[in-house]
Amino acid sequence: QVQLVESGGGSVQAGGSLQLSCTASGFSFSSYGMGWFRQAPGKEREGVAHITASGGTIYDESVKGRFTISKASARNALYLQMNSLKPEDTAVYYCARSAGGWVSRTPSDYIAWGQGTQVTVSS
């Protein structure tokens, strides 16, 4: 079955960096769009960065220039490099698979989710 497993979360000070990883299994990774979402306490889940099957990317305005999404299809792996982290980046981060090769920023367009990894940024 489809499985997505995130890793790499942790606690850092503002201005620091983290790299999240998502290992995928149970489907043809290179055929699907993938995304990173986050959810802070009391807030709705929001799209952070997304990459299409062909490698096109889109980012939320709040992370442009600071976060980079990438993938290694040979390893069935998705990454999110997060630099210049801010306290407002604190959230649980989720890896998700789109229903097709395209992506959107809408959570309901994604049909498989990982369990999430906590990112905490202190000021």
**Cα–Cα dist 110/50, whole Å:** 11
pLDDT, position 73: 94
pLDDT, position 39: 98
| Tokens at 42, concatenated | 């009391």
**Cα–Cα dist 41/23, whole Å:** 25
Is 68 in a helix, a strand, or coil?
strand
Q: If residue 104 lies in a helix (H) or strand (E), which one and from where to where?
A: none
- Mean pLDDT, rounded, of the chain: 97
Average pLDDT over residues 80-100: 98
pLDDT, position 52: 98
pLDDT, position 101: 95
Question: b/e string for 92-118 if b means 16 or more Cβ within 10 A?
Answer: bbbbbbbeeeebeeebebbebbbebbe
pLDDT of 19-54, one tens digit each?
Answer: 999 999 999 999 999 999 999 999 999 999 999 999
